[in-house]
Structure 1
Amino acid sequence: MTIVAVDGTAEHRLHALGLTTDQITRTLLRADAEAKHTTGLEPPTAEGTTRYFKTVGFLREELVPLGWGINDYKNFCRTVDPNHEFSIVTSSGDEVTGVDIPGRAPRTKYPKGELTALAVRQNAEQGTFDLGKQFAERTAGATVEPAELENVWVLLQRVTPDFIHAELSLPVCIEDGIITDWEERILLPRTSRHDPEPTGTPMIEEPPASDGDAYSVDVAMR
């Protein structure tokens, strides 16, 4: 049974994770402002990949000054909480992203890679899932350990012409590379894409090739 937090409960859960709605909203709006600068003359995935790259970067601008860490092993780009108890990755989601529809759960739009699948299984098993000798050999001497793949949350977003719908959720099921179920979903307020561009913050998914949303855009600056 998925736990769904909304409104005040969602804000409380974010605070428990050391996060705020403002941090995430600012991140999403800044990434959206960058994605809007694509013109349609770039490769078809340009808007989606720009949004992905900038969401990761701007989230880190918010959190790294607060003691959060970075782990980009094998392009599985995690932002790690100061106590190394959980981490955050980001992805695009389907039409259920950011809304509570009884009997339905959001899915990631595109298949994920090996480390995402392992992380989701670790979430489901809460550390008891045996990743096997092959994984241990591949990660020997690397900057990620199997236990670090526990409690990987996904900042999931869906973009429409007028709004960004988003949630921070803990995945527990993945099928053919698509995340299909969640232990907990923290729904964020719907954000207007027509708000003024946010100001910057102090500086300090794996992106699968297919994980850039191929939005249809006119050949014009927007």
Structure 2
Amino acid sequence: MGKQFLVTIAILALVYSLVNASDPSPLQDFCVAIDEPKDALFVNGKFCKNPNLVNADDFFFTGLDKPGNTSNPLGSAVTAVNVIQLKGLNTLGISLARIDFAPYGLNPPHTHPRGTEVLLVLEGSLLVGFVTSNIPNQKNRLFTKTLYAGDVFVFPEGLIHFQQNIAETNTIAFAGLSSQNPGTITIANAVFGSDPEISPDVLTKAFQVEKNVIDYLQSQFWWDNNY
């Protein structure tokens, strides 16, 4: 497992060294993010730590060798490493995540509004797919594929996509994203679990269903497992 883990990280690092990041290019060597503006000297994506106070730990994260807790209704867990968890990623245009799946677990339809995602399956198998944006006089097209250990799949920036474990065993995947903070919009959560709620009149007309269906969906707890 240790050797496979290192190979995974190496592959993801290589992939993203060959593509352009979607975030703006940095104008300095680094800009370690800091949460308190009163201590900041520079601004580039986030407030930056004084370079004279930066140390190696600002570029370090540990724990991706540990599985996430998939004991939830979706049967999946995402362990993110973006600028929130790793301050040294600020302005560098990349981030990383580990995704664990219980048997038949699902990472539900969602989008990353600020980043393209490349997914590598480390163990197990996944059914994955994404849907194109609206095309004049056409239906939204679905691209789907079954992936096995060692397979890679790309989800273009901003498009709705999903991953589902189709095996009776656990599955592990790693994702690299072309943003320090790609963001996540989980479709069901955003539509039926927003605060305050979207007007049932809007959703009734949008989905062409009876109001009691919308009321039921809005009354449910929508699990958020995403980064």
Q: With structure 2 as the length reference, what TM-score do the two structures score?
A: 0.24
Greater Rg over alpha carbons, structure: 2
More strand by share: 2
Higher helix fraction: Structure 1 or Structure 2?
1
TM-score scaled to structure 1, two decimals?
Answer: 0.24
Which fold has the larger relative contact order, with Cα–Cα distance below 8 Å and residues 6 or more apart in sequence?
Answer: 1
